[in-house]
Structure 1
Amino acid sequence: MSQKIKFLENIIAPHLQNNQKIISCDFDNLLSAGENYGSVMLQITIKLQNDNGDEENIYCVGKTVPPSEMLWNLFNTKITFKKEIAIYKTIVPELNKYGEECGVKNLIKFTAKCFGARISLDPSSEEVDHDAVILLENLKTQNYKVCDRLNGFDEECSKLLLGDLATMHAAVIGYKYAQPESFEKKIYPFLKKAYAFNVTESFADNFAAVIKNACAKNPDCIPHLHKITKALREINYYNENPVKGKDIFATLTHNDYWVNNTLLKFEDGKPIANKMVDFQLIEYSSLAHDVIFFLYTSVNMDVIENKVDELIKFYYDKFMETLTKLGHPTTEYSFESMLEEFAIIAKYGQFSHLLYMFVPICMLKGKVKSLSKFDLNELIFEESSMHENYFRRMQFTLIDFSRRGWI
């Protein structure tokens, strides 16, 4: 049974026309257990009626805070919920305004429409509480869909998504240099680090033992097994001492850009549009974080095993294309300098980030507990709970990072 949202009419009221009134609201859970961790997602049908008796439905998604104290603290919800509201109310409108000034309309066209948001029922409160909500359009009613996290995106989908990611990264870089004072005032305050996944040394060692056992089944992994424990232990250090790389590549990063955090629309079997979601972990950091995380978590294994370099180059070309459209100088942004940036960022924290995240991403459907019962010990998995691609993805990442000198 799904929860409900109190006083929803106060959020939707500015969008009502011709004396429309809400006559009913139906709530249901949008996602099953294991498909989202940082919030509760509700699908909502709001039935409206005007004075003439004409009826209309508005289809929304209500994003609310996580139900357990452990997840609330893990995701630092009191800060991260405000970050996501800022994306819809401040950051995207500001970037689109900048784009229009540069002659580029709808620069950021891959976010959902937001009907409104609040952090509390108390209008004077500055603290996020359990009545906080973000009300977004229900993209599924417009034929957008979440793809299969267990198998990932094919090449065509991956390139569309990387193109939008490159546009977002380049737009913020162009904006921060073109309008530095506005960037410092309107965007940067929402990009301060507010989330860190910290673990105890004993947890890291236990987790490493499970991963080593799984990786040892692939002979090519054996020479690199010693790197696993070191990486998993060091995640706390990297959280406390983040490496941002070169400032020219520092931008707004999503920090959780994987299959479940984007929706695709298809026409005749081909992807034609994308909508990014779940922006609660945004921060000011290197663009390489997003690209590496997306590639190794979300691209189909048959593609990623053969086309890492091609996909990175595709991202680079789209990044440069956007900077050029915005009139931002591109001399400093050689492909070689971007590869150097990737190497810097990959060496500091991304490998451990991937190893931890592969578990919830690749866990078989039905094996994950509900959010209210989720515990970090869920990451110490049984092999029977994991999709076969978990082992293939984990082993490939260990081998490929080692081959590139990234670990």
Structure 2
Amino acid sequence: MAQFTFEGDFEILADPQIKLVESALHKQGFTSGKIVVEPVGQKGDNYIAHVKRFIYEAEDGTSFKMIGKVAPVAVQLRLMMKTKILFNNEIVMYTLVLPKLNDIQNSVGAADDEKVRFPACYGVVTEEPYEFILLEDLKEAGFEMLDRMKPLTNESVRLVVKDLAKYHSLSYAFKNSEPEIYENYSNKLLNMWAIMSAEPESQQFFESLENQLLKMMYDVSDKYKNVVRGSLTQIAPISKKIESYEKGSKYSVIQQGDCWNNNILFRLEDGKPVDDVMIDYQLARESNPASDLLYLIFNCTDHATKLKHYQEWIDYYHENLDYFLNLHGLKASRVFPKDQLDADLRRYGKMMVNLGLMLSSILVRESKDVVDLKEMTGDKEKMAGDTTAQMDAKSLDVSTIVKLREKIIGIIDTALEFGLI
């Protein structure tokens, strides 16, 4: 086996994870050298995994970089964060679903600009509690994460909407051509929201967070308070209702599931986005395309941009879905008609608004205000209490509260404007 030395931030790595890094480098043709391990990002960039960059440096100057997602090992932390479920989902996606979708788009001879780009996966560790996913470092190909505190522009959203149309078309093609394998793979993906929402601890957290949001909205119109009131506490029953609709639905796809700023990398030219790639599939599951679209729109854009471009984005999505389905001999009019998309946007509107309100209290926080769940220790009850306490509005500065209020009002205004609630 290769002889490598590790330097830097590698203390949390266990033997199975170190062996995978060495094995991946060996498969690339490297037999010895130094591996420098660096942390990636800052608090608020990734809530579930420890993310590391592995920089291989050979004596002759050759280098090779990979990104590793490392699961936390503390028992109570894993239980609270649903680490096993989330890493299972992403491992299923990177080892089964995405390779299958990539094979499908290659089999029809799609041009490069007609393909979804998936990060190369160099291997995984499935052994608990050492789950580990080793991926291509997309920074080497010119992709970068934009500032998560800034809403996406119309140009950026159009790129992602088109990518979602490509991605969903591949899922429909997979479902159409190999239904039994599709069902087998989709059944391996677990619905995180439904699981979490059914737990008493989660319900208590939702209730507490909802009360915090209402306190921040004390001086706004009742139309906003009425939407916030009961929003988070209804996530559980709405999740169950939607899950029953999705089960066996011919319109369902294997969705990306968590399409927000930090899970979309862009390649820029002259400061403008020209290409994108979606990462992080921990919330992937079988669901409706409308769910991915609304998740993107509510969590990544401001109200002014939504108000101006919402219908344009929906039309653009469906036009591209039809185009890419045609590459596989399918038609959107049969697979997922426009009137069905419109109906499902309304069907999923309430759930996506509720999730948007919940996530807004997390996504608007500066790094210094982020609750870093990965670093928590102690028993499950104490960690839940600590999380709730740190989510309290009293822990936020005035500027963050202003941004949070604006985001909440924007989400509600958009939903009301377009009949989504």
Task: Please give the TM-score of this superposition, normalised by the length of structure 2.
Answer: 0.84
Letter in 1 for 2:409: Q
Q: Which residue is 2:258 aligned to?
A: 256
Deviations 1:8-32 (A, max 9, x none): 2444435537963232221121021
> Is the 1:21–1:48 Cα contact (8 Å) retained in structure 2?
no
Match of 1:34 among 34, 39, 44: 44
Displacement of 1:67 in angstroms is 5.3
- Relative to structure 1, the CA distance from residue 43 to residue 301 in structure 2 (aligned partners, 3 Å threshold; closer, same or farther) is farther
**Range with greater deviation from structure 2 (85-94 or 234-243):** 234-243
Secondary structure of the residue aligned to 1:92 is: helix
Contact 1:81 1:280 in 2 (8 A): yes
Q: Partner of 1:113 in structure 2?
A: 120
Partner of 1:123: none
Q: 1:200 to 1:109 in 2, by over 3 A?
A: closer
- Structure 1 position 178, deviation (Å): 2.0
Query: Displacement, 1:82?
Result: 2.4
1:275 maps to what in 2? 277
- SS class of match (2:332): coil
Aligned position for 1:43: 53
| Distance in 2, Cα, partners of 1:181 & 1:203 | 38
Contact 1:254 1:279 in 2 (8 A): yes
Are residues 22 and 381 of structure 1, via their aligned partners in 2, closer, same or farther at CA, if it must alter by over 3 Å?
farther
Q: Which segment is superposed worse, 194-203 or 108-117?
A: 194-203
Give the direction of change, closer, same or farther, for the CA distance of 1:300–1:201 in structure 2 (3 Å limit).
closer
Change (3 A) 1:356 1:3: farther
Q: Given the superposition, is the C-alpha separation of residues 271 and 71 from structure 1 closer, same or farther in structure 2, using an over 3 Å criterion?
A: farther
Shift of the alpha carbon at 1:59? 1.1
Instruction: Judge which range, 316-325 or 69-78, deviates more.
Output: 69-78
| SS at 1:24 equivalent | strand
Cα offset, 1:154, TM superposition: 0.6
Q: 3-state SS of the aligned residue for 2:118?
A: coil
Aligned-residue offset at 1:401: 1.9
Task: Describe the shift of the 1:217–1:312 C-alpha distance in structure 2 as closer, same or farther (beyond 3 A).
Answer: farther
Q: Secondary structure at the match of 2:62?
A: strand
RMSD over aligned Cα, in angstroms? 2.6
Q: CA deviation at 1:68?
A: 4.8
* 8 Å contact from structure 1 (residues 255, 281) kept in 2: yes
Q: Deviation of residue 73 (structure 1)?
A: 2.2
Q: Answer yes or no: is 1:376 the counterpart of 2:387.
A: yes
CA separation in 2, counterparts of 1:134 and 1:90?
Answer: 13
1:174-197 deviations in whole A, cap 9, x for unaligned? 210122123223x22333424533
Q: How does 1:5-404 map to 2 (within 5 A)?
A: 5-7=13-15, 8-16=18-26, 20-48=30-58, 54-66=60-72, 68-104=74-110, 108-120=115-127, 128-129=128-129, 131-185=130-184, 187-195=185-193, 196-198=195-197, 203-219=205-221, 222-243=222-243, 244=245, 247-332=249-334, 333-347=336-350, 349-370=351-372, 371-373=374-376, 375-377=386-388, 378-382=390-394, 383-384=396-397, 386=400, 388-404=402-418
Q: 1:26-62 deviations in whole A, cap 9, x for unaligned?
A: 112102112211111011212235xxxx342111111
1:326–1:389 Cα change, 3 Å = farther
Cα 1:72–1:150 change in 2 (3 A) is same
Identity of aligned residues (%): 18
In structure 1, runs of 5+ residues without a counterpart are 121-127
2:86 partner letter: T
Q: Does the residue aligned with 2:329 lie in a helix, a strand or coil?
A: coil
Shift of 1:286: 1.0
Opposite residue 384 of structure 1, the aligned amino acid is D
3-state SS, counterpart of residue 227 of structure 1: helix
Matched residue type, 2:407: R
Shift in Å at residue 248 of structure 1?
3.4
Whether the 8 Å CA contact 1:40–1:67 is kept in 2: the answer is: no
Quick check: 378-387 or 10-19, which moved more?
10-19
Question: 1:109 is aligned with what amino acid?
Answer: V
Contact 1:48–1:56, Cα closer than 8 Å, also in 2: yes
Aligned letter for 2:349?
Answer: A
Cα distance, 1:261 vs. partner?
Answer: 0.8
- Quote the offset at 1:381 in angstroms: 2.7
The two structures have a TM-score, normalised by structure 1, of 0.87
Q: 1:206-252 CA deviation, whole Å, 9 max, x = no partner?
A: 43333223334444xx2241232222211122334434459232001
1:376: how far off?
3.2
Provide the residue aligned with 2:379 in structure 1.
Answer: none
Report the CA distance shift for 1:261/1:201 in structure 2 as closer, same or farther (over 3 A): closer
Q: For the structure 1 residues 346 and 26, does the alpha-carbon distance in structure 2 shift closer, same or farther, using more than 3 Å as the test? A: same
Q: Which structure has the highest helix share of the two?
A: 2
- 2:369 is paired with a residue whose SS is coil
